[in-house]
């Protein structure tokens, strides 16, 4: 399926684009729009003839920098409008500058005010025995110092299926976790899904999941304790990311005195189950 439609819709929603584009792209876009806007007003001033006092007649750059001064309400006084047409353009540009400042201020504030989760997910998923039952496990970690409170985790299996009528469709199945929520998520969280007869993964293998084009979708949400705003994170595992008969290396260690610490250098490491 082509992504052309998705990209078309993405560019047709400029507000969402300006909120989600990375900071370098945001500033670059603002510079381009600012330069283009001043260039358009410079052409508008030139279209009215010699309407700017003390500017070289027909000089685009004099008209451009006069537009910059007008748009930002700088008003150095070296150049000023001297015709009715030029004053009309100045009036329009002053209004555009006022509205533009309000819009850009709102966008920057909204971008800074957005609360985002810095959640690290293990690169792979393992299937290993847990309490005598095969269990699917993956790790997540909170990379910020402040905990996420009232955290909830939901895991879903997405796979192809063929109906009795021969219609191919994508079906979504929830994977029940032994612990799907926690009052506080300060450091790490290992999600565990028992693969019993009620599990959509029952009697599945890496090969069968690959044939079904299976994906595992993880959704984690909670409240950032510092700013008391909702945060969320999402991760997708492919069928080849599931390692059967493997387990994660223990990353919780105890030092002298009884204190414990987490060794994130082995966060993604696994070994074969014994």
CA distances from 89 to 32, 85, 97, 235 (A): 21, 6, 12, 51
Residue after which a domain boundary falls, among 63, 91, 113: 113
- Write the CB contacts of 267 (distance below 8 Å, at least 6 apart in sequence): 120, 122, 139, 141, 251
Residues 192 and 156 reside in one and the same domain: yes
Q: What's the pLDDT at 2?
A: 45
Residues 126 and 26 in one domain: no
Predicted pLDDT at 116:
67
Number of other CB atoms surrounding residue 66 within 10 Å: 28
- State which residues form the domain around 42: 4-113
CA-to-CA distance for 50 and 59, rounded, in angstroms?
A: 10
One domain for residues 127 and 181:
yes
142 and 16 share one domain: no
Residue 15 CA to residue 210 CA, distance in Å, equals: 38
What integer is the mean pLDDT of 225-246?
88
- Could you tell me the CATH number of the domain that includes residue 52? 1.10.287.70
Final residue in a domain of this structure, among 84, 113, 142: 113
Condensed to tens digits (0 to 9), the pLDDT of residues 69-114 reads 999 888 777 898 999 999 999 999 999 999 999 999 998 888 877 7
pLDDT-based confidence at residue 165 (cuts at 50, 70, 90):
confident
Q: Which two tokens stand for residue 61?
A: 């750059």
125 and 244 co-located in one domain = yes
Q: Would you state the pLDDT for residue 72?
A: 87
Integer Cα distance of 65 and 57 in angstroms: 14
Assess whether 175 and 83 both reside in one domain.
no
**CA–CA dist 143, 8 (Å, integer):** 34
Angle between helical axes of 23-47 and 60-71 (0-180°, round to 10): 120
The pLDDT of residue 110: 83
CATH code of residue 168: 2.60.40.1400
Considering the domain architecture, whether residues 90 and 195 belong to the same structural domain is answered as no
Could you tell me if 132 and 109 lie in one domain?
Answer: no
One domain for residues 125 and 245: yes
Sole residue written with tokens 């300060």: 186
87 and 102 co-located in one domain: yes
Q: Which of 69, 91, 113 is the endpoint of a domain?
A: 113
Residue 266 and residue 136 share a domain: yes
The CA distances from residue 161 to 50, 164, 212, 241, 244, in Å, are 72, 10, 7, 21, 23
Task: Check whether residue 19 and residue 151 sit in a common domain.
Answer: no
Number of folded domains in the chain? Answer: 2
């Amino acid at each position: 399926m082509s992504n052309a439609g998705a990209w078309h819709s993405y560019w047709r929603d400029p507000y969402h684009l300006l909120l989600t584009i990375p900071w370098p792209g945001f500033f670059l876009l603002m510079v381009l729009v600012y330069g283009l806007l001043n260039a358009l007003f410079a052409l508008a001033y030139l279209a009215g003839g010699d309407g700017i006092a003390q500017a070289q007649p027909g000089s685009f750059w004099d008209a451009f920098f006069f537009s910059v001064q007008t748009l930002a309400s700088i008003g150095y006084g070296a150049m000023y409008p001297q015709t009715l047409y030029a004053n009309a353009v100045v009036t329009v540009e002053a209004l555009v500058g006022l509205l533009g400042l309000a819009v850009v201020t709102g966008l920057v504030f909204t971008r800074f005010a957005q609360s985002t989760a810095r959640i690290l997910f293990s690169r792979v998923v393992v299937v290993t025995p847990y309490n005598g039952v095969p269990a699917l496990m993956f790790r997540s970690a909170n990379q910020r110092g402040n905990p996420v409170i009232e955290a909830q985790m939901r895991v879903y299996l997405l796979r192809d299926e063929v109906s009795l009528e021969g219609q191919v469709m994508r079906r979504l199945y929830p994977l029940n976790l032994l612990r799907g929520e926690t009052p506080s998520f300060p450091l790490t969280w290992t999600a565990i899904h028992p693969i019993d007869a009620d599990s959509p993964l029952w009697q599945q293998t890496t090969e069968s999941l690959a044939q079904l084009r299976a994906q595992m979708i993880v959704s984690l949400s909670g409240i950032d304790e510092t700013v008391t705003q909702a945060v969320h994170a999402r991760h997708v595992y492919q069928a080849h990311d599931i390692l059967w008969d493997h387990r994660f290396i223990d990353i919780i260690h105890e030092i002298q005195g009884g204190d414990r610490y987490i060794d994130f250098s082995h966060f993604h490491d696994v070994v074969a189950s014994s």
